[in-house]
Amino acid sequence: MDSRFASEKVIEEFESLTKNAKRVQIETLQKILKENGEAEYLKKWNLDGRFDPQTYSSCVPVVTHKDLEPYIQKIADGASHPVLTGKAITTITLSSGTTQGKPKFVPYNDELTETTMQIYRTSFAFRNREFPIDNGKALSFIYGSKQFTTKGGLLAGTATTNVYRSAQFKKTMRAMQTPCCSPDEVIFGPDFHQSLYCHLLCGLIFHEEIQVISSTFAHSIVHSFRTFELVWEELCSDIRNGVLSAKITVPSIRTAMGKVLTPNPELADKIHRKCLGLTDWNGLIHEVFPNCKYIYGIMTGSMEMYLKKLRHYAGKVRLLSADYGSSEGWIGANVNPNMPPERTTYAVLPNIGYFEFLPLREIDMASRDQDEPDFTFCPVEPKPVGLTDVQIGEEYEVVITNFAGLYRYRLGDVVKVIGFHNATPELQFVCRRNLMLTINIDKNTEKDLQLSVEAAAKLLAAEKLEVVDFTSHVDIASEPGHYVIFWEVSGEASDKVLKECCNCLDKSFVDAGYVSSRKVKAIGPLELRVLRRGTFQKILDHYVGLGSALNQFKTPRCVTPVNHRVLQILCDNVAKSYISTTFG
Ligand code: AMP
Q: Is the CB of 325 under 6 A from ligand 1?
A: yes
CA of 257 from ligand 1 middle (Å) equals 32
Query: How far, in Å, from the CA of 101 to the mean position of ligand 1?
Result: 15
Confidence (pLDDT) at 381: 63
Query: How long, in residues, is the chain?
Result: 584
Residue in 65, 298, 411, 553 to alter for ligand 1 test, most ligand atoms within 8 A of Cβ? 298
Name the average pLDDT for the chain: 91
Say which residue, 147 or 117, is predicted with more confidence. 117
The angle at the Cα of 361, spanning 358 to 362, to the nearest 5 degrees, equals 65
Pick the closest to residue 309 from 243, 238, 228 (CA basis): 228
d(CA 49, CA 45): 11
The residue whose CA is least distant from atom 19 of ligand 1 is 324
Question: What pLDDT band is residue 549 in, cutting at 50, 70 and 90?
Answer: confident
For ligand 1, the distance from its centroid to the CA atom of residue 326, given in whole angstroms, is 5
Pocket test of ligand 1: the residue of 123, 219, 413 to mutate, having most ligand atoms within 8 Å of its CB, is 413
CA distance 319 to 299: 9
Res 567 pLDDT > 50: yes
Report the separation in Å between the CA atom of 242 and the middle of ligand 1, taken as the mean of its atom positions. Answer: 40
Q: Separation of 433 CA from ligand 1 center, angstroms?
A: 12
Instruction: Output the pLDDT for position 525.
Output: 96
Q: Cα dihedral angle (513, 516, 518, 523), rounded to 10 degrees?
A: -50
Distance 516 CA to ligand 1 centre (A): 33
- Kindly report, residue by residue over 139-169, the tens digit of the pLDDT: 999 988 778 899 999 988 888 888 888 888 8
**411 C-beta closer than 6 A to ligand 1:** yes
Residues 6+ apart with CB under 8 A from 269: 240
- pLDDT, tens digit (0-9, with 9 covering 90-100), for 3-44: 666 889 999 999 999 999 999 999 999 999 999 999 999 999
Whole-prediction pTM: 0.87
Query: What pLDDT band is residue 366 in, cutting at 50, 70 and 90?
Result: very low
